[in-house]
């Protein structure tokens, strides 16, 4: 038996690969308040799956193409004719509906929609691992290359322009990275849960981070812990693996909020006691 013959080992490697790519990108999604943007891109993935099966091309290529088309459409049209959130709502649900309808017309092809909606990490094969880790390396390399420019464009677009950084270019970089993450993550957590893996670890890491770099590293650690904890919990309790991973991430977020609140309350009590002592 080789190292990759164990389906649990393949699942763990796939989940960690997606987590390492999604969490740092998720920090920018949180900072830029792009959660709905990520959701719309993820929903479009189902249409990509249906088109891939129709034209007999790679699922990764089809999902990546449709996710990119969705992301660039929103970036181009948002704020012109309709408010961005309205356009996102229309496109997200329309793409998901068209994808589901298109899948129903696939004759002679058996498609497990639940696997693409909620993920099927336990069915990951060695070839899938190569795609996932290749996509993760691309996203991490892209973020490392454009990190300073992305941060400046996120914090103060006007200042970025004065420093020669084009915020529109950096948005395109994020759009590309987001599409790649959606394409590699659909088999792990599914189209409906990808946004959760992007946002929840980043939100859980935020209270403990003093710098953007710290937040990105902590978010990656929390996402990886969510994947490994979710796999273990799903194995023991016989629950759906993708949703269980997100549940573990949500529990870590709740623990983060509770701990932050407890520390803040303790600080307020201590400050109150100090003021009474001064009197």
Residues 8-28 pLDDT 10s? 899 999 999 999 999 999 999
How many percent of the chain have pLDDT more than 90?
A: 38
What CATH code is assigned to 3-192? 1.10.3470.10
Q: Which of 81-95, 145-159, 228-242 has the weakest average pLDDT?
A: 81-95
- For the entire predicted model, the pTM comes to 0.87
Q: Which of 72-76, 78-82, 249-253, 255-259 has the weakest average pLDDT?
A: 78-82
Instruction: Provide the pLDDT for residue 1.
Output: 44
Mean pLDDT over each residue of the chain, to the nearest integer? 86
> Which of 144, 124, 122 has the alpha carbon at shortest distance from 132?
124
Q: How far is CA 189 from CA 77, 152, 215, 240, in A?
A: 29, 31, 22, 10
Q: pLDDT tens, 97-150?
A: 888 888 777 766 667 778 888 888 988 888 889 999 999 999 999 999 999 999
CA distance 96 to 191: 9
Give the orientation angle of helix 167-185 with respect to helix 35-54, to 10 degrees. 50
Which of 117-131, 164-178, 211-225 is modeled with the greatest confidence? 211-225
Domain boundaries, the chain: 3-192
CB 12 within 8 A of CB 232: no
Instruction: Provide the pLDDT for residue 4.
Output: 56
Instruction: Provide the pLDDT for residue 205.
Output: 95
Average pLDDT over residues 45-61: 85
Confidence of residue 277 (pLDDT cuts 50, 70, 90): low
Q: What are phi and psi of 32, to 5 degrees?
A: -90, 0
Question: Who's near 61: CB < 8 A, 6+ residues apart?
Answer: 52
């Amino acid at each position: 038996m080789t190292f990759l013959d164990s389906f649990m080992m393949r699942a763990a490697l796939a989940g960690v690969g997606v987590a390492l790519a999604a969490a740092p990108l998720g920090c920018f999604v949180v900072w830029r308040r792009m959660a709905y943007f990520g959701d719309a891109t993820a929903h479009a993935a189902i249409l990509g799956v249906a088109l891939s099966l129709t034209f007999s091309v790679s699922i990764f290529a089809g999902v990546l193409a449709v996710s990119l088309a969705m992301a660039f459409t929103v970036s181009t049209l948002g704020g012109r004719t309709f408010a961005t959130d309205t356009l996102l709502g229309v496109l997200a649900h329309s793409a998901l509906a068209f994808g589901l309808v298109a899948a129903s017309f696939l004759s002679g092809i058996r498609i497990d929609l639940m696997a693409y909606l909620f993920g099927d990490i336990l069915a990951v094969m060695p070839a899938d691992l190569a795609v996932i880790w290749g996509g993760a390396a691309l996203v991490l390399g892209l973020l490392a290359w454009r990190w300073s420019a992305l941060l400046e464009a996120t914090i103060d677009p006007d200042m970025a322009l004065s420093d020669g950084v084009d915020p529109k270019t950096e948005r395109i970089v994020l759009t590309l990275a987001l599409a790649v993450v959606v394409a590699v993550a659909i088999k792990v957590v599914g189209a409906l849960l990808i946004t959760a893996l992007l946002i929840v670890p980043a939100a859980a890491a935020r209270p403990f981070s003093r710098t953007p770099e710290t937040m990105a590293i902590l978010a990656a650690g929390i996402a990886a812990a969510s994947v490994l904890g979710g796999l273990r919990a799903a194995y023991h309790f016989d629950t759906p693996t993708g949703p269980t991973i997100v549940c573990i991430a949500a529990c870590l977020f709740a623990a983060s909020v509770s701990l932050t609140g407890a520390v803040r309350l303790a600080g307020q009590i201590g400050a109150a006691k100090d003021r009474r002592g001064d009197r």
